[in-house]
């Protein structure tokens, strides 16, 4: 496989090239084009991006740069922006690929996914370094993200032998009823930048296991990661056209959605903002399709009066500031019982002030790295101003780290080389405030005081979202009331609002999603349709309901009339 292996020496990431070269520059099946050229020696070579359509790597046109958000001088690579011909070619390839792939027995499809798991596992460190270089999360988090894809592939490999239907008893004699899972067709996957490897695996792997073909439009902020994943699929041996990768901006996604109206795309799975999710829902609604929508969150973390603060404080730090707060499951509001409010606040501030920020590839002890893109930086800086006007009291946070606004625990020489921001904390926030209601993609959180558990639960539900949630308490009765009363798709007790496992359903309610789920066996409902089949073996026509005389037996123990039938 064409992949990059990186080894660290003296805090510098050097590159060991393991690329397959070919004179076939158009990217035919004869070989793989050269994907690397000399780049920043500190981080590795520049990636020469290609679409992957119908088993061929195509350079495309209108190339756009991907840069390292921790060091803007590092050009990760240049990637094409798909045009109309590219999009049409990908859809046509996926249509053809679906016809072939759905005929492959499900256990065999599972075997191919099993090979994918082994390839990802072999390349785990290499892939993690690509993720860290491109979006700035720590290596520990990047390794965990790759492991999540491995777990997903291993889980669904076995589901190839468990793609069960049911045998159902008929009300008529000599008649059999069955149900089958059938694939949907061409599935469009549109994914976000904050989990550029794990989330696509949640979508593509179960869709492929079920017999669908895939067109993947990744975030424009993480194209190198997407191309690396495509190389894994290629080596695993998926047939041409079954997995197709198109790079591009939001306009490319909008063009792809027009194929839903044409009934050439049968399923859309999207991870991103609620605003975009609503637009996708409208498009799919016209086509009588159900999209999979994994959207935003303003996730509550309740600290009850009996909470174990030794555990709750570090969990809250991870929930709020892990991945620089760039998770859909990041904590947005910490709702604290008034009896422990001041103690929790004091401990939390002390812990937050020790957070180390830096370039994760150069400084391994970094807790979080940069914001992923400049637009997230601008949005984050803006919230510092409107948050004050909204009535919030800023306890911590100065915005972007610069030589004029330094941060004591920044690990590095030049914070202005990347999109680094300080951990931010607000108080005097209530459900009436915009700060309480609106998702801010970055390391910021609000402290909210509650007089009782009932009020805390009311506050936890007092916003439009319903993705993740958590509570810290030692009282089993409070745990039960929380589980029964919280309006969220996922909940943790004595743990953080973040985190997921490959065999547990992931998704939200209200403005956080439309009820569909990622992961586990539940996701198969999103990528299959139920097919009911009846087989009548009687010698004469039988009509359900009309030809059934439930009272024909002469006595409760005499069913001779049924036997005659």
CATH 3.40.605.10 placement within the chain: 20-294
Statement: residue 150 has pLDDT above 90: yes
Neighbours of 291 (CB within 10 A): 23
Statement: residue 358 has pLDDT above 80: yes
Whose tokens are 């992923």? That residue is: 372
Quote the pLDDT of residue 27: 37
Quote the pLDDT of residue 34: 86
The residues, any chain, with a CB within 8 Å of residue 390's CB and separated by 6 or more, are 433, 434, 435
- Reported confidence tier of residue 544, pLDDT bands at 50, 70, 90: confident
pLDDT tens, position by position, 4-13: 333 333 333 3
Quote the pLDDT of residue 553: 54
Terminus-to-terminus CA distance in the chain, angstroms?
A: 63
Quote the pLDDT of residue 558: 62
Quote the pLDDT of residue 5: 37
Quote the pLDDT of residue 37: 86
Calculate mean pLDDT across residues 134-151. 98
Structural contact between residues 426 and 387, judged by C-beta atoms closer than 8 angstroms: yes
Quote the pLDDT of residue 562: 60
* CA 223 from centroid of its chain's CA atoms: 15
Statement: residue 549 has pLDDT above 80: no
Radius of gyration of the chain (CA): 26
pTM of the model: 0.91
Quote the pLDDT of residue 554: 55
pLDDT tens, position by position, 400-452: 999 999 999 999 999 999 999 999 999 999 999 999 999 999 999 999 999 99
Active-site residue identified among 232, 235, 328, 439: 328
pLDDT tens, position by position, 81-117: 999 999 999 999 999 999 999 999 999 999 999 999 9
User: Taking all residues of the chain, what is their mean pLDDT, rounded to a whole number?
Assistant: 92
- Reported confidence tier of residue 29, pLDDT bands at 50, 70, 90: very low
Whose tokens are 């050009």? That residue is: 75
pLDDT tens, position by position, 240-292: 999 999 999 999 999 999 999 999 999 999 999 999 999 999 999 999 999 99
Quote the pLDDT of residue 499: 86
Statement: residue 329 has pLDDT above 50: yes
Please confirm, yes or no, whether 518 is among the known catalytic residues.
Answer: no
pLDDT tens, position by position, 180-232: 999 999 999 999 999 999 999 999 999 999 999 999 999 999 999 999 999 99
CATH 3.40.309.10 placement within the chain: 299-508
DSSP 130-153: HHHHHH---HHHHHHHHHHHHHHH
Quote the pLDDT of residue 505: 95
Structural contact between residues 321 and 355, judged by C-beta atoms closer than 8 angstroms: yes
Task: Report the percent of the chain where pLDDT is more than 70.
Answer: 91
Class of domain 299-508: alpha beta
Structural contact between residues 81 and 247, judged by C-beta atoms closer than 8 angstroms: yes
Statement: residue 302 has pLDDT above 70: yes
Active-site residue identified among 294, 320, 439, 518: 294
Quote the pLDDT of residue 379: 97
Calculate mean pLDDT across residues 554-561. 60
Please confirm, yes or no, whether 294 is among the known catalytic residues.
Answer: yes
Quote the pLDDT of residue 545: 85
Quote the pLDDT of residue 182: 98
Q: Can you give 199-253 as a three-state secondary structure string?
A: HHHHHHHHHHHCCCEEEEECCCCCHHHHHHHHHHHHHHCCCCCCEEECCCCHHHH
Cα–Cα dist 54/480, whole Å: 51
Out of 169-183, 499-513, 540-554, least confident range: 540-554
| CATH architecture for segment(s) 20-294 | 3-Layer(aba) Sandwich (3.40)
Quote the pLDDT of residue 418: 98
Torsion-angle region of residue 513: left (phi > 0), alpha (psi -120 to 50) or beta?
A: left
- Reported confidence tier of residue 38, pLDDT bands at 50, 70, 90: confident
Tokens describing residue 473: 């308490």
Quote the pLDDT of residue 355: 98
């Amino acid at each position: 496989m064409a992949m990059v292996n990186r080894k660290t020496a003296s805090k510098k990431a050097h590159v060991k090239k393991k690329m397959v070269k070919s004179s076939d520059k158009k990217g035919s099946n004869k070989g793989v084009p050269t994907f690397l050229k000399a780049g920043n020696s500190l981080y590795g070579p520049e990636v020469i991006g290609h679409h992957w359509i119908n088993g061929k790597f195509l350079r495309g046109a209108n190339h756009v740069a991907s840069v390292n958000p921790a060091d803007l001088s590092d050009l990760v690579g240049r990637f094409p922006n798909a045009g109309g011909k590219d999009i049409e070619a990908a859809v046509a390839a996926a249509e053809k690929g679906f016809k072939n792939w759905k005929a492959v027995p499900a256990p065999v499809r599972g075997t191919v996914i099993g090979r994918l798991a082994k390839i990802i596992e072999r390349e785990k460190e290499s892939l993690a370094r690509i993720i860290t270089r491109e979006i700035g999360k720590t290596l520990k988090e990047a390794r965990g993200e790759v492991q999540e894809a491995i777990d997903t592939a291993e889980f669904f490999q076995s589901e190839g032998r468990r793609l069960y239907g049911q045998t159902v008893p008929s009300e008529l004699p000599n008649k059999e009823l069955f149900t089958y899972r059938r694939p949907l067709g061409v599935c469009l996957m549109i994914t976000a930048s904050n989990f550029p490897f794990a989330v696509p695996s949640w979508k593509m792997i179960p869709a492929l296991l079920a017999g669908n073909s895939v067109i993947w439009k990744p975030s424009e902020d993480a194209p190198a990661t997407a191309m690396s994943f495509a190389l894994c699929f290629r080596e695993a041996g998926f047939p041409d056209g079954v997995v197709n990768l198109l790079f591009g901006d939001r306009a490319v996604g909008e063009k792809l959605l027009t194929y839903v109206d044409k009934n050439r795309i049968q399923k859309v799975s999207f991870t991103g903002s609620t605003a975009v999710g609503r637009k996708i829902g409208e498009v799919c609604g016209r086509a009588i399709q159900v999209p999979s929508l994994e959207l935003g969150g303003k996730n509550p973390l309740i600290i009850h009066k009996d909470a174990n603060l030794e555990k709750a404080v570090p969990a809250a730090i991870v929930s709020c500031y892990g991945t620089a707060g760039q998770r859909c499951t990041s904590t947005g509001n910490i709702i604290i019982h008034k009896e422990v409010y001041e103690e929790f606040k004091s401990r939390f501030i002390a812990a937050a002030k020790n957070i180390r920020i830096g370039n994760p590839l150069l400084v391994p002890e970094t807790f979080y790295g940069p914001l992923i893109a400049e637009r997230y930086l601008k949005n984050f800086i803006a919230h510092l101003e409107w948050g004050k006007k909204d009535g919030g009291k800023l306890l911590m946070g100065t915005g972007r780290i610069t030589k004029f606004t330094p941060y004591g625990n920044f690990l590095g020489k030049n914070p202005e080389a990347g999109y680094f921001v300080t951990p931010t904390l607000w108080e005097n926030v209530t459900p009436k405030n915009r700060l309480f209601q609106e998702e801010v993609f970055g390391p910021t959180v609000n402290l909210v005081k509650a007089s009782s558990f009932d009020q805390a639960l009311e506050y936890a539900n007092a916003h439009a979202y319903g993705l993740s949630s958590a509570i810290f308490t030692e009282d089993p009765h409070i745990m039960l009331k929380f589980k029964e009363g919280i309006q969220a798709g996922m909940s943790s007790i004595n743990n953080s609002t973040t985190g997921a496992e490959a065999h547990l359903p992931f998704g939200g309610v209200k403005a956080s999603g439309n009820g569909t789920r990622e992961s586990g066996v539940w996701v198969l409902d999103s990528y299959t349709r139920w097919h009911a089949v009846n087989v009548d073996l009687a010698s004469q026509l039988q009509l359900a309901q009309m030809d059934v005389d439930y009272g024909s037996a002469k006595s409760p123990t005499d069913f001779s009339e049924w036997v005659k039938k």
